[in-house]
Amino acid sequence: MTDIQGYKGVSYNLLSKSKVSIGDFIDVKTNNGSIQGSLMPRYEYADDQHIVIKMSNGYNVGLRTKKIISIKLITKRSAPSFQPPKTPKLDPKLPKVAIIGTGGTIASRVDYRTGGVHPQFSTNELYAIVPEIGKYAQIHTKPLLNIYSEHINADHWNIIAEKTVKEITEGFDGIIIAHGTDTMGYTSAALSFALSNSPVPIILVGSQRSTDRPSSDAALNLIGAVASVTRIPFSGVYVAMHGSVNDSTVAIHRGTRVRKNHTSRRDAFQSIDVSPVAFFKDEKVEVLTEDLPLKNSSLQFKVRCQFEKDVALIKFYPSFNYKLIDHLVDSGYRGIVFEGTGLGHLGEDCYQSIDDAVKKGLLVGMTSQCIWGRVNLTVYDSGRDLLKIGVIPLGDMLPETALVKMMWALGNAQSGKEAEILMHENIAGEYLERSTFERRKKYEFI
Amino acid sequence: MSLFEPEEIGLKVGLEIHQQLNTPTKLFCRCKKFEDSFVNTMYRTLRPTQSELGKIDPAARFEFEKNLRIKYEIGENSSCLVELDDEPPHSISMEAVKTSLIIGLALSSNPINELHVMRKIVIDGSNTTGFQRTLVVSTGGELKTSNRSVPVQAIFLEEDAARLLGDSKNKRNYGLDRLGVPLVEVALAPVTTTPKEVQEIAYALGRLMRSTRLVSRGLGTIRQDVNISIFDGKVVEVKGVQRLDLLEKIINFEALRQKSLINLKDELINRGLIPEDFQNKPSDITALFQKNNNTILKKVLKKDMKIYAVKLKKLSGILSFEEFSDVRFGRELADVARFYGISGLLHSDEIPGHGVTSIEVKKIRQKLHLNELDGFLLLSGEKGKLEKASEAIQKRIQSAFSGVPAETRGPTPDGKTRFIRPRPGSARMYPETDIPPITISSKLVNELKRNIPRPWEEQILEYISKFSLSRKLAIQIYDSSFIDIFEELANTTNVPSSLIAATLTETVVNLSRAGLDTTILTAAMVKSLFTTLDNGIVSKEAIPQILELILKREVKNVEEAIEKIGLTALTDNKLFVLVKTIIDENRELIDEKGIASFSNLMGQVMSDARGRVDGKKVSSILKSELNKTLSLDNK
């Protein structure tokens, strides 16, 4: 059986006829002479007209099948002999930290022959790659899931929450969750509600540049997360990511107030309407706020990790068709969070559909598509109309946080009324009492 | 006279020429400007990645452990988030792909059917990503020079590195403007050759590339790496030779250095030594120097720093031995020490001296239990670095048992070479997954074949006849960065082409030799200079003075220069009046000397007219006016 991953059609037939596998060192005779090298795998979406080999100088080239006269095997691929790193010595005086892996590789190893990246998640390997974490804590890695964050759903939040509770009960002093960045803000909100008053801090961490490159932001983010989870005095759920485009500062954001605001920059994550909770810089953690619940407090650790999936987040736009609301109601949805315009408005042809939805028992909440700032439904008539219908104004809660909260409220409450009460309650800093002036620019470029 | 016969020592030289392309944008983003002023800064660190075997390259790890903080200077127009490594690369510049393919086709190289962009790991900070994006565009082919043919290994297209602006102990500073500029690399196969011939080969290749008219010209737009080896030795790469006139010197030096290393190998074996003799633990001798503050060891010694001594069995006399001028083994070891961040280094062949007394030497010898034949090294610096450096230096001695080690070296301004780092292996290349492969159709290749430039020699001949230039001037202007503006001016003004060419080559070179920065001379300035000349506002005699003022930055442009010199051309009318006045003032002289008074009168007129009018014109008007005066007098 030959292993010729990714090849199909013409190139597949050519390779299987030649009885060569990925990694084999082969000689390819073409119209323009011979080229020798190792057979490489093919990308899934690439055409079937080329085969790819890695020449001895390390470069890959694609050879057109039409021009190939023959392929000869020179040597079979030998498996690389990987040498696992030694077990590091853990300092028993340091706090114990568990790192739960959900995917999005924090540490990885490159296969130069195939170009693939092997995710590494054993404790030993993590220490070998980012030895600095040993300064702050005794680390234990806990692989849990291995999925891209865009594939994460509410079931996974439940799995992650339960695993976190398990590690907290086993006596860890802090929990780190390695997570893909695309939906990290949603997961951090989900855990903030599911694990209120956690006795120890929980920090999600990811990277904007993959870890197979020397410039990856993963290592610094991880170091910042480990240092912060052992040093911040607070309970609760946070996100640790680069505070600027420099490799110098890691910002610690509150789990319900953080948003990914750039597709690719290292400092894509920002705290909205509030300063980050803390910064890690030059091996020190600077705490910037005082008014958060302290860890190991007498407050009861409440684990409520059910989520109702039938909740929609809808962005209103000019020409929005109210039938979309009717459709959600007919499909059995239990809640809708709107991203309204400005202070929280919708076009008037939606009112009837929303009224029907509320009457049928759906929770309907209002946030603003402005991202920054809070909704206010009493300033204009349109707002008052929505209030009268029964739309719940969600203050300055982020739209994504509001969605997650409604999923959580409906998942854990016994009744719609109870869920509505939970929506009004400030569970994990999702509501801010004050709108302070321009704090969002303050920490750029440090 | 050469100190060796290339064939006898098996000298093989492979050239790799890197040439910037003159494309409208960078290779993987659409930034248009390649040079810029910097308005922002950013700090980064790079960290070695693990290989498939779970290993980290020790040199890369060491770079990382230096805790290097890299500062990048950011220009607003020359770089975007791609250069900051804060955005994935955009699609490849097809202009650059086509240009590199044309250069390949001109060298009869075979285009690759499907191009794959690779990442080559480089963590010295010259790339913000920690790798250089590079691809092979064609393989094979040959370069024909006037008297030989050199096989081509492959042609690559790659992004240029960031510009190094400064480098100190643990800070390194780069400008992002150059990062991502497309470079074509032509790798020639190593051939048996003479140092002189290598220079000819380099010229031939440079000219072939310039004949496409698609590459950048001028200093810094072309760089050479040279791979040099001799019999029984490994290949040494000398990176970044910018001046072709240094190539011959560098190759000569390297050949001798390698020859002396091979002789050293025999000497080590003759002395009965084996590599295992050089695994000694260094001894801490800091206390010995407590009172001596004269040595260079102490100059770098701060708090918590140490002085170590390392025994070098039976190496006495070898470290300073100079078989060829400036080739010493002690220097090789010092280079290794420097790589590991140690600058204080002395060896037994050079002390007593350098502030170390003979009593101290005696004490060291006693402490290390050395006999007369043994040598030793003294190193000063931080404890952790000293241990690593002493290990690395002894490894370097061990590798002397196999002659020439494979390493990357850099050129010195005087044509020698110095160790930079060990040679990296091919295991640092992996695919750039952000960019899908690029198919090169046969149709495209056939189209590009039509764009293969005519041979350089043919183009030069055309230049000679079309612009009435001497061969020397034709070659100089063709190779210069002013070629485009030259052609424009030669075709659109009445100024003689040879004057434009000579100004842009010889005059500019003279000003550059006088220490002026000629790179600030723009095409726009050149254009305005010759248009002014063409319009009769200045004369050709004023050109050097105008250029000098501009290059000295005393004026901003040609107009200001003219104003400053007080030059405006003499109209025919004014010149006529001037000549008449001088004749009138000198009647006595003319009466006395007749036509022989011409040179005296000419001198007087020119003292007023120099730079404002062509001397030939002055001469002819003066001659005719003088003749008129004399004939009138005769009547």
Distance between CA atoms of A189 and A258, rounded to whole angstroms?
Answer: 9
C-alpha A72: how far from chain center: 46
Q: Mean per-residue pLDDT for A289-303?
A: 89
What is the predicted pLDDT for the residue at B68? 76
Please report how many Cα atoms fall inside a 13 Å half-sphere around the Cα of residue B314, on the Cβ side: 13
The chain-wide mean pLDDT, for chain B, equals 88
Chain A hits for B86, CB-CB cut-off 8 Å, are 208, 245, 264-266
A164 catalytic residue (yes or no): no
Who has greater pLDDT, A3 or B436? Answer: B436
Structure tokens at B48: 């070695």
Complete DSSP assignment for B261-308: HHHHHHHHHHTT--GGG--PPPEE-GGGGTT---SHHHHT--TTEEEE
Among A82-96, A194-208, B334-348, the range with the most confident prediction by mean pLDDT is A194-208
B chain contacts of residue A80, beta-carbon cutoff 8 Å: 52-53
Q: Is the pLDDT of residue A275 over 70?
A: yes
- Whether A444 is in a domain gets the answer no
Domain membership of residue A434 (yes or no) is no
How far apart (Å, rounded) are the C-alpha atoms in residues A268 and A244? 9
Residue with tokens 């698609």: B214
Q: Are A207 and A221 in contact (CB under 8 A)?
A: yes
Q: Do A148 and A174 reside in the same domain of the chain?
A: yes
Q: Does one domain contain both A280 and A171?
A: yes
- Burial letters for B268-302: b for 16+ Cβ neighbours within 10 Å, e otherwise? beeeebeeebbebebbebbebbeeeeebbbbeebe
Instruction: Kindly state the DSSP code that residue A192 receives in the 8-state scheme.
Output: H
For residues A294 and A320, membership in a common domain is answered with no
Q: How far from the centroid of its chain's Cα atoms is residue B609's Cα?
A: 43
- pLDDT-derived band at B1 (thresholds 50, 70, 90) equals very low
Nearest CA-CA distance, residue A302 and chain B, Å: 40
Strand partners, A294: A234
Q: How far apart are CA A242 and CA A269, in angstroms?
A: 8
Position B302 pLDDT exceeds 70: no
Whether A443 maps to a domain, the answer reads no
Beta bridge partners of A70: A29
For residue A56, the domain's CATH number is: 2.30.30.520
Q: What is the CATH number of domain B270-404?
A: 3.30.1360.30
Task: Give the best residue of B28, B49, B138 to mutate against chain A (max A CB count within 10 A).
Answer: B49
Q: Which helix (H) or strand (E) holds A138?
A: strand A138-143
Task: Specify whether the CB–CB gap between B316 and B375 falls below 8 A.
Answer: yes
Domain assignment present for residue A440? The answer is no
Quickly state the pLDDT bin for B58 (edges 50, 70, 90): low
Label residue B54 by pLDDT band (50, 70, 90): low
Q: Which residue of B has its CA nearest to A80?
A: B53
Both A347 and A418 in a single domain? yes
Same domain, A69 and A120: no
Residues A53 and A166 in one domain: no
Long-range contacts of A119-128 (CB under 8 A, 24+ apart): A119/A146, A120/B50, A122/A84, A123/A87, A123/A88, A124/A84, A124/A85, A124/A86, A124/A87, A124/A88, A125/A84, A125/A85, A125/B54, A126/A99, A127/A85, A127/A88, A128/A85, A128/A88, A128/B50, A128/B54
The C-alpha angle B464, B469, B473, rounded to 5 degrees, equals 105
How many domains does one find in chain A? 3
Could you tell me the end-to-end alpha-carbon distance of chain B, in angstroms, rounded to an integer? 73
Structural domain boundaries enclosing A344: 311-424
Q: Pairing between strand A392-393 and A363-368?
A: parallel
- Assigned domain for A435 exists: no
Question: HSE-up of B102 (CA within 13 Å, CB side)?
Answer: 22
Counting DSSP H helices and E strands in chain A, the numbers are: 10, 23
Q: Residues of B numbered 357-376 whose beta carbons fall under 8 angstroms of chain A's beta carbons: which are they? A: none
* Inter-residue contact A217 to A244 (CB < 8 Å): no
Average pLDDT, chain A: 91
Which tokens belong to B330?
């002690």
Give the model's pLDDT for residue B52: 62
pLDDT per position as a tens digit, B394-431: 999 999 999 999 889 999 999 999 998 877 666 678 88
Cα A327 vs. chain centroid, distance in angstroms?
A: 30
The alpha carbon of residue B151 is apart from the nearest alpha carbon of chain A, in Å, by 14
Which CATH number characterizes residue A132's domain? 3.40.50.1170
What's residue A155's pLDDT? 97
Tell me which chain B residue has its CA closest to the CA of residue A68.
B113
Query: Which residues of A fall within a CB distance of 8 Å from B85?
Result: 209, 215
Instruction: Count CB atoms within 10 A of the CB of residue B65.
Output: 14
Residues 410-439 of B with CB under 8 A from A: 426-431, 433, 436-437, 439
Rg (C-alpha) for chain B, rounded Å, is 32
- A143 lies in a domain? yes
Question: Rg of the Cα trace of chain A?
Answer: 26
The whole-angstrom separation of Cα B229 and Cα B191 is 10
3-class DSSP state of B339: helix
pLDDT digits (tens, 9 = 90+) for B563-584: 777 666 677 788 888 888 888 8
CATH of residue A340: 3.40.50.40
Contact yes or no for A200/A206 (Cβ under 8 A): no
Q: Check residue B168 and give its pLDDT.
A: 78
| Eight-state DSSP code of residue A341 | B
Within this chain, do residues A209 and A335 fall inside the same structural domain, yes or no?
Answer: no
B330-337 average pLDDT score: 90
Residues A338 and A214 both lie in one domain: no
- Asked whether residue A89 is assigned to any structural domain, the reply reads no
Tokens at residue B528, please? Answer: 């305005």
Hey, what amino acid is at B26?
Answer: K
Centre a 10 Å sphere on the Cβ of residue A248 and count the other Cβ atoms it contains.
Answer: 20
From residue A279, give the alpha-carbon distance in Å to each of A99, B74, B139: 20, 25, 52
Give, in degrees to the nearest 5, the angle at Cα B466 between B464 and B471.
5
Pair A212, A349 in one domain: no
The one-letter amino acid at B99: T
Phi, psi of A234 (to 5 degrees): -100, 160
Residue B283 has pLDDT above 80, yes or no: yes
Encoded amino acid at A148, one letter: Y
Any domain includes A90:
no
Residues 6+ apart with CB under 8 A from B440: B97, B101, B111, B112, B113, B114, B115
Which residue of A lies nearest to B63 if distances are taken between CA atoms? A214
Per-residue pLDDT tens over the stretch B90-99: 999 999 999 9
A344 shares its domain with A219 = no
- Do A297 and A359 have their domain in common? no
Tell me how close the Cα of A7 comes to any Cα of chain B, in angstroms. 14
Q: Which residues of A touch B179 (CB under 8 A)?
A: none
Angle at B83 between CA B77 and CA B88, to 5 degrees: 120
pLDDT given for residue B387 in this prediction: 87
Residue of A85, A112, A118 lying closest to B429 (CB–CB): A112
pTM for the structure as a whole: 0.86
Residue A10 is given by DSSP the state: H
Q: Average of pLDDT values for B236-256?
A: 90
Residue B206 has pLDDT above 80, yes or no: yes
Nearest CA-CA partner of B275 in B184, B400, B181:
B400
The token pair that represents B556 in the structure block = 């901003």
- CA-nearest of A209, A219, A230, A68 to A136 is A230
Identify the weakest region by mean pLDDT among A259-273, A368-382, A396-410, B412-426.
B412-426
Cα dihedral sign for A133, A136, A142, A144?
negative
CA B72 centroid distance within chain = 22
| Residue A34 pLDDT exceeds 80 | yes
- For residue B221, the one-letter residue type is T
Q: How confident is the model at residue A445 (pLDDT cuts 50, 70, 90)?
A: very low
Same-domain pairing of A249 and A363: no
Active site residue A182: yes
Q: What does the alpha-carbon distance between residue A191 and residue A196 come to, in Å, rounded to a whole number?
A: 8
DSSP B25-81: S-SSS----SS--EEEEEEE---PPB-TTS---HHHHHHHHTT-EEEEEEETTT--T
Please say if A260 is a catalytic residue: yes
Task: Identify which has the larger pLDDT, A194 or B625.
Answer: A194
Q: Would you list the domain boundaries of chain B? A: 6-235, 270-404, 456-565, 572-634
| Residue A283 per-residue DSSP state | T
